[in-house]
Amino acid sequence: MMKFKVLLFAPFLLLMSNCKTQSQTSTSDNIIKLGVNKKVTIPNSKTSLEFKEITEDSRCPANVTCVWEGIAIVNLKATSGNNTQDIQVGTRDFLPKEVTKSFNYAGYRFTVQEVKPYPGEKEESPSVTIKYEKEE
């Protein structure tokens, strides 16, 4: 009887662990989605990105009309082989803070697509979505 209970419970644990992993880091169609302190490696490469934190978020809240759209700034840690670089990137280019929406690293061009949670929307764990392209 005990083996039967374990067998019934095992698939449930497997499904739960997959849900958590997929919501924290994923890659598809050259899009990376990272949760805080999560790391993902670009497929078929030695290059990885880790989302460290949101350092600033002055974006206009949802359902509010603002004069300025604001910006979210995040810290990333990029690694390729033994090389590591801390990178600060934003939801838009903002020259007064020397922040851009895109950056080049280890033969790839990375561009921020989205930073969540968006101000004024439902609370959720912080995440950043980044598109990457191999440089030519």
Instruction: Report the amino acid identity of residue 113.
Output: Q
- State the CATH architecture for 24-134: Sandwich (2.60)
Residue that the structure tokens 């350092």 belong to: 55
Considering the entire predicted model, what is its pTM? 0.78
Domain boundaries, the chain: 24-134
pLDDT at residue 70, rounded to an integer? 93
Distance CA 49, CA 61 (A): 28
pLDDT at residue 33, rounded to an integer? 95
Tell how far CA 11 is from the center of its chain. 28
For 81-118, the DSSP string reads TTEEEEEEEESS-BGGGTB-SEEEETTEEEEEEEEESP
pLDDT at residue 123, rounded to an integer? 85
Q: Per-residue confidence of the chain (136 residues) as pLDDT tens digits?
A: 544 444 444 443 333 333 333 345 556 689 999 999 999 999 999 999 999 999 999 999 988 899 988 999 999 999 999 999 999 999 999 999 999 999 999 999 999 999 999 998 888 899 999 999 998 7
For 32-68, the DSSP string reads EEEETT-EEEPTTSSEEEEEEEEEEE-PPPTT---SS
